[in-house]
Amino acid sequence: MCDAVLRSSWLLPLLVVMIAIDAPFPVLPSETILMSAATTAFGGGDAWMVVGLFVAALAGSVLGDAVVFWLGRCSHRLVARTVDNEHEVSAWVRKHMLQRPGIALVGARFIPGGRW
């Protein structure tokens, strides 16, 4: 059954959507499904499926990163509506990005909505 799912015609469009949604909200198992499908494609010698998976991963990643970029550009409006003093939040983000950029970026990757 798993093989049938990994070889179905709706897998590639579904992966594009899952990977795109996974960018701002990292709760979907898109990497696991992508790696499982790639293993099946490589193991079966299906070169077209490997290419399709690559294109689906690329398209989903670009789309998801564009959404995250857009959310980041618009987040000051959201923060201004939900926080009384927008400058305190901006200062906190700048402080941590300047002092510990690696930890801040890696940590933000695993917080839903944290990347923007």
Number of structural domains the chain divides into: 1
Residue type, 36: S
Which residues, 6 or more positions from 65, have their beta carbon under 8 angstroms from its beta carbon? 23
Q: Does 116 map to a domain? A: no
Question: What is the DSSP secondary structure assignment for residue 116, as one 8-state letter?
Answer: -
Q: Does 33 map to a domain? A: yes
Q: Does 89 map to a domain? A: yes
Q: Which of 87, 93, 37 is nearest to 60 (CA)?
A: 37
Query: pLDDT value at position 107?
Result: 66
Q: Does 114 map to a domain? A: no
Q: What range does the domain containing 71 cover?
A: 2-109
pTM of the predicted protein model: 0.66
In whole numbers, what is the pLDDT of the chain averaged over residues? 78
Which residues, 6 or more positions from 108, have their beta carbon under 8 angstroms from its beta carbon? 114, 115
Q: Does 39 map to a domain? A: yes
Each residue's pLDDT, cut to its tens digit, for the chain (116 residues) gives 567 777 788 889 989 999 888 877 777 788 888 898 899 888 888 899 999 999 999 999 899 888 887 877 776 665 555 555 556 656 766 777 778 777 766 666 666 555 55
Q: Does 73 map to a domain? A: yes
pLDDT tens digits along 46-72: 899 999 999 999 999 899 888 887 877
Rg (CA), the chain: 18
